[in-house]
């Protein structure tokens, strides 16, 4: 039978207990650092894509460089998607404007043919193919980061897997009445969500930079990890944009549901509505609910662990 000892009356024992606890935390942090430099087996997804090739990066500087390339990749593709959304909307509105002008001149006829529905359908396909390639590449890069010690959450990766399915269905969605009825709304949503993603990325990168500068976050963390109370100041600016995006996603699901009621609607409409848009909405709610209500205590413990390990790292 174990007896719990009390050290209240003995200051030396209390001090010794504190030192032992601090040393335990420091040793645990050292073991965590050692674990990150050891080779790790690929996950199931990487084994399907790459086979048994070892993707562990043993050099710490190379790990940081790979993580930085991942962040730059997201930013560049976000800006490209934003530009394509602007071009798609511009050509669509211009086509509708020219079509509404009843001038039977050769000049307007030539422009009308040039920016016909087949032309901006090609632009749509370019945009959708970019999204499919982006999310496929992103899932592979995140799996490699996971193998090399990054603490990317499962819900974040699942979000990108579902986005890959959504982009693939949109890519093969044929021309039809339902597609053109949803096109302008979807392209407007793409434009808005690309802008919000850029704002979110810049905000999260600034927060992560501050945490790393203070020594409170590991260098392999990505721009969706960690939350502190002082981040509410900047997050208050983002919340209106985020909630508008969430309600817009819900409106997209409602629009697709209404279009799916038409007997002539393609199966892509129901697939996007049921399997993609609703799941996309749920994952976004989980995203920020987990940020605020669940992850904060665990991340606070991580911050305390790393801070103490750095503070007492030169002892023992």
Collapse the DSSP code of 85 into the 3-class scheme (helix H, G, I; strand E, B; otherwise coil) and give the result: helix
Give residue-wise pLDDT tens across range 219-271.
545 544 444 444 445 566 777 887 788 788 888 888 988 998 988 888 888 88
Region of 131 (left: φ > 0; alpha: ψ -120 to 50; beta: rest) is alpha
Give residue-wise pLDDT tens across range 157-212.
887 888 888 889 999 998 888 888 888 888 898 899 888 888 888 777 766 666 65
Of the pLDDT bands very low, low, confident and very high (cuts 50, 70, 90), residue 2 is very low
Give the pLDDT of residue 80: 93
Question: Which tokens go with 177?
Answer: 């009445």
How far apart CA 273 and CA 148 sit, in angstroms, is 36
Longest Cα–Cα distance of the chain, Å, equals 100
Packed helices 11-37 and 295-311: angle between N→C axes, nearest 10 degrees: 100
Question: What is the DSSP-derived secondary structure letter of residue 217?
Answer: S
Q: What is the dihedral of CA 207, 208, 214, 219, to 10 degrees?
A: 180
Collapse the DSSP code of 40 into the 3-class scheme (helix H, G, I; strand E, B; otherwise coil) and give the result: coil
Give the pLDDT of residue 132: 94
Of the ranges 79-88, 108-117, 223-232, the best mean pLDDT one:
79-88
How far apart CA 94 and CA 307 sit, in angstroms, is 57
pLDDT > 70: what percent of the chain? 61
Give residue-wise pLDDT tens across range 6-19.
545 566 677 777 77
**Residue among 88, 80, 81, 85 nearest 115 (CA):** 88
What are phi and psi for residue 3, nearest 5 degrees? -110, 125
pLDDT, mean over the chain: 72
How far apart CA 170 and CA 167 sit, in angstroms, is 5
Tell me how many degrees the CA angle 277-282-287 measures, rounded to the nearest 5.
125
In which residue are the tokens 């987990």 written? Answer: 290
Of the pLDDT bands very low, low, confident and very high (cuts 50, 70, 90), residue 291 is low
Estimate to the nearest angstrom the gap between the alpha carbon of 301 and the chain centroid: 24
């Amino acid at each position: 039978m174990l007896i719990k000892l009390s050290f209240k009356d003995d200051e030396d024992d209390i001090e010794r207990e504190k030192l032992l606890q601090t040393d335990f935390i420091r040793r645990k942090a050292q073991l965590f650092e050692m674990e990150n430099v050891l080779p790790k087996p690929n996950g199931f997804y990487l084994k399907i894509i790459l086979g048994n090739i070892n993707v562990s990066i043993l050099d710490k500087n190379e790990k940081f460089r790979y993580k930085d390339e991942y962040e730059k990749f997201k930013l560049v593709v976000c800006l490209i998607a934003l530009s394509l959304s602007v071009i798609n909307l511009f050509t669509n509105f211009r086509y509708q404007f020219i079509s509404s002008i009843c001038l039977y001149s050769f000049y307007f006829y030539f422009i009308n043919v040039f920016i016909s529905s087949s032309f901006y359908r090609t632009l749509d396909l370019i945009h959708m193919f970019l999204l499919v390639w982006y999310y496929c590449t992103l899932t592979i890069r995140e799996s490699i980061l996971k193998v090399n010690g990054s603490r990317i959450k499962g819900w974040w990766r699942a979000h990108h897997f579902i986005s890959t399915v959504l982009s693939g269905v949109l890519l093969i969605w044929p021309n039809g009445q339902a597609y053109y009825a949803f096109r302008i709304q979807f392209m407007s949503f793409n434009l808005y969500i690309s802008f919000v993603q850029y704002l979110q990325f810049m905000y999260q990168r600034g927060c992560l930079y501050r945490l790393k500068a203070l020594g409170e976050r590991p260098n392999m963390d990505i721009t969706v990890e960690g939350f502190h109370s002082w981040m509410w100041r900047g997050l208050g600016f983002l919340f209106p944009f985020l909630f508008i995006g969430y309600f817009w996603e819900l409106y997209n699901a409602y629009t697709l549901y209404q279009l799916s009621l038409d007997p002539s609607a393609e199966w892509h409409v129901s697939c996007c509505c049921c399997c993609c848009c609703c799941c996309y909405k749920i994952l976004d709610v989980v995203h920020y609910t987990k940020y605020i209500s669940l992850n904060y205590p665990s991340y606070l413990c991580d911050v305390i662990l790393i801070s103490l390990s750095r503070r007492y790292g030169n002892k023992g």
